[in-house]
Amino acid sequence: MIIFQRPVIGLGQRSRHVVAMFGMGLVGRAIAASLLRLSDWTSQELAFSWSDPSQRIADRKQIEQFLISTTALPARGDVYRIGRLDIVWAAGRAGFASSQAEVEQELEAFQDVLKISERLCQQVPMAQHAIHLFSSAGGLFEGQRQVNRESTPAPIRPYGALKLEQEKHLAATSEEVTKLIYRPSSVYGYSGTGLRIGLVSALVQNGIRHRVSRIFGEPHTIRDYVLASDIGSFLAKQLTVPPSNSQVFLLASGKPSSMFEMLHKIEQAVGRKLYCQFDSQPSNASHISFCKSALPVTWNPTDLDTGIRQTALQLRGAFVRSE
């Protein structure tokens, strides 16, 4: 996990704004990049074990102590109290195909993060506290069409049930904490090397390298895709304005595309024919789409053509650098 800090001056008083981010995958890196573009933050990485509960207890205590202590901001030498603390959960090793055991491990890690928030609320009661949870629109609404503000989550696999359970655990936390839930649809994009890549990036990468891609689904399967950098920009702005009331944000494009349409867009961006092998598993061929009316007013997603071209360009650059 990584902790971002910056000094803030308001009403003649100086304080620290602290963002504790758990998860530096595709979405986490996109948030960090956008955050650093918007303001001057210092950062500190701390350990947080995902697989060892006993080690995680020790890690949790170290994180709490680091945040509670009134240490000087690195490279500045100024000591300010915490005026605002945002905890961001953008972590998650579990995916659509994860087993019950795998999602339970992730839920336990999230519960430990909620314990950090609870302790900090007690130790720093004068600060503004908020938790930002990245859930999953795809996991919660799998198989539903034209999802709107009144639609009810109905997960059909362990991954979706995990996301709903995380939301419920967050809702049960202290009333002193502002709770912000983000439900992105299928996220794609490029945020650097060393990450588990999603379907779009895998297709682009295999297209560049003339490799066959195996796709679990069918050519007519409908999905909604959002660019990771759009999510990063949206959350970074949330973190740099005064905390709002607790709410849920659906982060989708509102313009669903079939698998066939997406493959065609990737071929145009890459300039090569894609070779694909479809594995038509009924469990992964459910359509998912979202109504534009359910999206936040300030949410401006990049269109799929532009996003795929941008991702292809970034992956080409990474491919050239690795040669």
Q: Among the listed ranges 39-43, 74-78, 130-134, 266-270, which one has the minimum average pLDDT value?
A: 74-78
Q: Judging by beta carbons within 10 Å of its beta carbon (0-12, 13-18, 19+), is residue 232 exposed, middle or buried?
A: buried
Percentage of the chain modeled with pLDDT above 90: 73
Cβ contact 138:111 at 8 Å:
no
Residue 209 has pLDDT above 50, yes or no: yes
Identify the pLDDT of residue 89.
98
Identify the burial level of 240 via C-beta atoms within 10 angstroms of its C-beta, where 0-12 means exposed, 13-18 middle and 19 or more buried. middle
Please give the CATH number for the structural domain made up of 2-190+224-255+288-302. 3.40.50.720
pLDDT higher for 15 or 195? 15
pLDDT higher at 75 or 121 = 121
For residue 283, the model assigns a pLDDT of 63
Is pLDDT of 76 > 70?
Answer: no
Beta carbons of 73 and 16 less than 8 angstroms apart: yes
Whether the CB-CB separation of 267 and 200 falls below 8 Å is answered with: no
pLDDT tens-place string over residues 19-59: 999 999 999 999 999 999 988 899 999 999 988 999 999 99
Short-list 268, 179, 192, 191, CA closest to 230: 191
Per residue in 141-150, is it b (16+ CB within 10 Å) or e — as a string? Answer: bbebeebeee
Q: Tokens for 17?
A: 């704004």
DSSP 38-92: HS--EEEE----SS-HHHHHHHHHHHHHHHHS-PPPTTT-----EEEEEEEE---
Q: Is the pLDDT of residue 140 over 70?
A: yes
CA–CA dist 127, 123 (Å, integer): 10
For range 167-193, the mean pLDDT: 94
Other beta carbons less than 10 A from residue 274's beta carbon: 18
296, burial (CB in 10 Å: exposed 0-12, middle 13-18, buried 19+): middle
Three-state secondary structure call for residue 35:
helix
Average pLDDT, the chain: 90
Q: What is the pLDDT of residue 75?
A: 44
Distance, C-alpha 118 to centroid of its chain? 22
Q: Which runs of consecutive H residues, i.e. helices, occur in the chain?
A: 26-38, 53-68, 100-123, 137-140, 158-171, 199-208, 228-239, 259-270, 304-322
pLDDT, tens digit (0-9, with 9 covering 90-100), for 273-303: 999 998 876 566 688 999 999 999 999 999 9
The pLDDT, as a whole number, for residue 320 is: 66
